[in-house]
Amino acid sequence: MDLKKSMEAMTRAELSIPGGVNSPVRAHRAVGGSPFFVEKGQGAWLVDLDGNRYVDLILAYGPLILGHRHPVVVSALDEALKKGFSYGVPTTGEIDLAEAVKSAFPSIEKVRLVNSGTEATMSAVRVARGFTGRSKLVKFTGCYHGHADHLLVKAGSGATTFGSPDSAGVPAEFAAHTLNLPYNDPEALDETFDTLGDEIAAVIVEPFVGNMGVVSPTPEFVKALCDVPRAHGALLIFDEVMTGFRVGRGGAQSILNVKPDLTCLGKIIGGGLPVGAYGGRADVMDCVAPLGPVYQAGTLSGNPLSVAAGLATLGVLETEDPYPYLDETCGRLCEGLADLAREEGVPIQVNRIGSMFTVFFNEQPVTDYTSAMASDTKRFGVFFQEMLAQGVSLPPAQFEAAFLSIAHGTVEMGAVLSAAAAAFAKVREA
């Protein structure tokens, strides 16, 4: 595979952009080699600068559930472009998108649009703190909630010790109010609330985790999430930036049958354009300015192009209900991958929920951060590179979710499986 033009682009990019990329995973540091630069995308496929074609399993890290350039989204954007693309003055599209979100998420009574998932989680946490008058926040190790200071905290050695910053540039004082607990550990949640319950404003969680690779919650953990915070007057925040409109139209909460106090959205609701949203109980959301004392604002929030792409995407999801197709297709793909790995004698765990999945190079089930970290990232790197050489673009790190779209059909699934047969053989030989 000739990557000459992409390599030249990377050399040029590195002179002007840190690491050559605008988001770190794109630099391929976790898997080695240099990324391809995209020329264009269509349906399930990407074309790079050198004319190589790839089946896209990244799909912009989740937003493109309809694939690239779905005709309904393209024509919605065409129409929006004719009118204007930013006003800082209200438009009715914003109401339409708020109503579309509410109709899919019964727990959301009021919702505010922002520009990214990071803004959504940061704002939801601020509202929870404003509403409860408390400072502490519980999150779970391995869950990613964007890059706001107080959310960039992993575990210290003790599960319930006060967090220490995960990123340079985050003062320890900023992270001191973030309590990190192990995912899928209801006892740890119980114990933390027993000692610090009346200081905790909220628990924020990825209800199905995508950001340590795909991991599902146990029923006991889900029950604890529903019961424990509420018993102590704390709010439950579901970060559904990835899972919202992905695992089902009503997100993880519709599948798990949970009504969180606040929900964060992003990704799919912008149809591939920059967006985020946070919403939930009206009494909580009414704390936000101009109604209440919690300040949150945005020059480009509710941007007409993002809103148009998001509305078009949600419209297609509502009328076509592609979730059974996505679930079945992804289920068959994952079974195929597991079979191929078994034939080659390569131990893997395939975790999947709906159309998001992760192939962990791991002999044991992956149920939390610790078990995820036991994966063989070197083997993943070999697998990744061979898949890429065979024309399949996976997320370039072991601890990410891969995605399917409605544009992924029989041809694409066949291409992925035949590439995987070669890639598992490479892993075995490596």
Ligand X SMILES: *Cc1c(COP(=O)(O)O)cnc(C)c1O
The binding site for ligand X (CB under 6 A) comprises 116-118, 121, 144-146, 206, 210-211, 239, 241-242, 266, 276
Q: Give the nearest distance from C-beta 144 to ligand X in angstroms.
A: 5
Confirm if 424 and 340 have CB atoms less than 8 A apart.
Answer: yes
Considering the complex, state which of residue 326 and residue 382 has its C-beta at the smaller distance from ligand X.
326
239 is catalytic: yes
Q: Give the nearest distance from C-beta 3 to ligand X in angstroms.
A: 26
DSSP 89-134: S--HHHHHHHHHHHHH-TT-SEEEEESSHHHHHHHHHHHHHHHHT-
What does the alpha-carbon distance between residue 339 and residue 331 come to, in Å, rounded to a whole number?
12
Return the closest-CA partner of residue 309 out of 95, 89, 81: 81
Q: Which of 48, 136, 139, 267 is catalytic?
A: 267
Considering the complex, state which of residue 119 and residue 412 has its C-beta at the smaller distance from ligand X.
119
144 is catalytic: yes
Considering the complex, state which of residue 41 and residue 117 has its C-beta at the smaller distance from ligand X.
117
Considering the complex, state which of residue 166 and residue 191 has its C-beta at the smaller distance from ligand X.
166
On the question of a cis peptide bond just before residue 290, with omega within 30 degrees of 0, the verdict is yes
Q: Give the nearest distance from C-beta 114 to ligand X in angstroms.
A: 9
295 is catalytic: no
What does the alpha-carbon distance between residue 279 and residue 362 come to, in Å, rounded to a whole number?
37
Whole-number Cα distances in Å, 60 to 315, 404, 405: 20, 11, 11
Backbone φ and ψ of 355, nearest 5°: -105, 25
What letter would DSSP give residue 361? -
Q: Give the nearest distance from C-beta 183 to ligand X in angstroms.
A: 13
Chain residue whose CB lies nearest ligand X:
117
What letter would DSSP give residue 163? P
Confirm if 113 and 275 have CB atoms less than 8 A apart.
Answer: yes
What does the alpha-carbon distance between residue 173 and residue 178 come to, in Å, rounded to a whole number?
10
Q: Which of 48, 56, 239, 368 is catalytic?
A: 239
HSE at residue 321, side-chain half, CA atoms within 13 A, is 2
**Amino acid of residue 387:** M
Q: Give the nearest distance from C-beta 124 to ligand X in angstroms.
A: 10
Considering the complex, state which of residue 241 and residue 346 has its C-beta at the smaller distance from ligand X.
241
Q: Give the nearest distance from C-beta 197 to ligand X in angstroms.
A: 25
What does the alpha-carbon distance between residue 250 and residue 258 come to, in Å, rounded to a whole number?
11
Q: Which of 54, 136, 139, 144 is catalytic?
A: 144
Confirm if 278 and 123 have CB atoms less than 8 A apart.
Answer: yes
What does the alpha-carbon distance between residue 24 and residue 392 come to, in Å, rounded to a whole number?
20
Q: Give the nearest distance from C-beta 345 to ligand X in angstroms.
A: 33
Considering the complex, state which of residue 175 and residue 241 has its C-beta at the smaller distance from ligand X.
241
What does the alpha-carbon distance between residue 346 and residue 293 come to, in Å, rounded to a whole number?
56
Q: Give the nearest distance from C-beta 111 to ligand X in angstroms.
A: 16
Considering the complex, state which of residue 297 and residue 411 has its C-beta at the smaller distance from ligand X.
297
Residue 72: exposed, middle, or buried by beta-carbon count in 10 A (0-12, 13-18, 19+)?
A: middle
Neighbours of 368 (CB within 10 A): 21
Considering the complex, state which of residue 181 and residue 423 has its C-beta at the smaller distance from ligand X.
181
**Amino acid of residue 184:** N
Whole-number Cα distances in Å, 366 to 56, 212, 423: 25, 10, 22
Q: Which residues are catalytic?
A: 144, 239, 267
